[in-house]
Amino acid sequence: MQSAKKASHQGTLISPDLEPIKTKAATKKWETKEGTEMADSQESTSSQEPLSPAGRLFHAPQFNCTIITAVGCKTSINPGVIKMGLEQTLIKHPRFSKKLLIDDSKCGTKLKWESTRVNVEDHVIVPNLDPKLDSTDQFVEDYISNLSTIPLDLSKPLWEMHILNVKTLDAEAAAVLRIHHSLGDGASLISLLLACTRKTSDPDSLPSIPEQNRAGSHLPGGFWWLFSAMWKVLRLIWNTLVDLILFAATMLFLKDTKTPLKGASGVGLKPKRFVHRTVSLDDIKLVKNAMNMTINDVIMGVTQAGLSRYLNRKYGDQTEEEEGANQNKNSLPKGIRLRASVLVNIRPTPGIQALADLMAKDSNNVQWGWGNRIGYMILPFTIGLQDDPLHYLRKAKAMIDRKKLSLEAIFSFHSAILLIKVFGFKASAAMARRVISNTTLAFSNVVGPLEEISFYGHPVAYIAPSVYGSPHALTIHFQSYGNKMTIVLAVDPDVIPNPHELCDDLEESLEIIKDAVVKRGLNAS
């Protein structure tokens, strides 16, 4: 009886007609290039559309990637409410109402999207769970990990949602959304996820997303403006040239040092384990403001510090006797080359695409719309124990500032498209896989809503996105939400058997850096 009342209450929390994120100028539903295609496809279910080059790339055997996102909720989840909400929003999006069609012909394999009728019951899985689970947190972790071993069903659109009504330490229940990477990149998918939510404080309002401001708008005038502009162009050309040479070298022969974080060949096909840890975004902002940096600078510095702590312990733990002695000793080998493959949204705004513009109904510019518009950058990490923990931040800022004056990500995106057209998507995927597998980890930072949101009437506790199928033993995602930052790790358990230790190192590194900033402020005063 109580559950029935609860379901009824949750049913009243969603609007009768949920709409996707829109701008003030938006007037028609999904009025984009793909939206027009969807409108046509509704009249004829036989309509087909070829996959984009990037979409084909993510279906190559060596590069078959799937995005998996856990959304923790503060209440138990009503499956009926979720299904009704999905019917009103997600299923109406053109990419989520088409299935993959594989056409084998004499000219080769062709991949197409084919419109189909979507039965939401086939996409929402609600397993029967034992109410007397010994460890619900371990169960949820194992359940999500097991999903990385089960391919998506090609007979229907390539997405599904699993509802786990079990209480964990940080949520009352969890919805796990699994989406094939060919449907869209992280910026596209997080925008669509947020389009299905509303502010908890105002159920009729869409989430607020931080605006991205362009840097460098205040330049000196006259001669100094001209000199500064010419110097910036020269640096841009030089940095891009160097980065492209290093990118090519990485594809041919330049490999990272073999460390306890580096996976072997074939790691992309192995099951992954997903763990997350939530830290204070206010702490990150405190460091950011004190050091006059960006949030990206801070989380990159924290990551370098955390990886250094983890590797130092692993290199020091040769025997049980040495473990205690080496706890504070520098056991790291010299000259470690450790680099991250960083996915960069190349849509025409700095950083992540403004979500409202990305999902604008009146946008006819493909560059602003849906899909995979991501390039790769290779970022070298500084690995070593530092006497001054703020040194990690300074190194990170210097590295990121340099990468901002480089067209590496744009070149890598367009080069991949060209290679696909010339050599085919399988050969291009093999080349892309070679570049990425010669680095140690993948890294991503996604901007989330500023306030608490509700997912079809269910208040959200955390958002934890990740990916599997890429040739890395370690993938690190940072996802902001309100005043929290969630660190999400996807690991090969054979390489990193206890990822919670790495979460501890990242969390402790943030605390050490924050304490150093606070002490510096006290001393300065």
Quick check: is 181 catalytic? Answer: yes
**Contact between 55 and 372 (Cβ < 8 Å):** yes
Spacing of C-alpha 96 from chain mean position: 19
Distance CA 448, CA 467 (A): 17
Helix axes 295-316, 390-404, angle to 10 degrees: 130
SS3 of 252-307: HCCCCCCCCCCCCCCHHHCCCEEEEEEEEHHHHHHHHHHHCCCHHHHHHHHHHHHH
Q: What's the one-letter identity of residue 299?
A: I
Distance CA 140, CA 219 (A): 52
Nearest alpha carbon to residue 299 among 354, 381, 388, 374: 381
Query: What are the two backbone dihedrals, phi and then psi, of residue 262, each rounded to the nearest 5 degrees?
Result: -90, 125
Distance CA 392, CA 291 (A): 12
Distance CA 450, CA 462 (A): 12
Reported as type and span, the H/E element at residue 351 is none
DSSP type of residue 429: H
Q: What's the one-letter identity of residue 232?
A: K
**Contact between 287 and 305 (Cβ < 8 Å):** no
User: 161 pairs with which residues across the strands?
Assistant: 124, 177
Q: What's the one-letter identity of residue 127?
A: P
**Contact between 474 and 496 (Cβ < 8 Å):** yes
Within 13 Å and on the Cβ side, how many CA atoms surround 94? Answer: 25
Residue tagged active-site, from 162, 181, 458, 472:
181
Distance CA 212, CA 347 (A): 13
Which residues carry out catalysis? 181
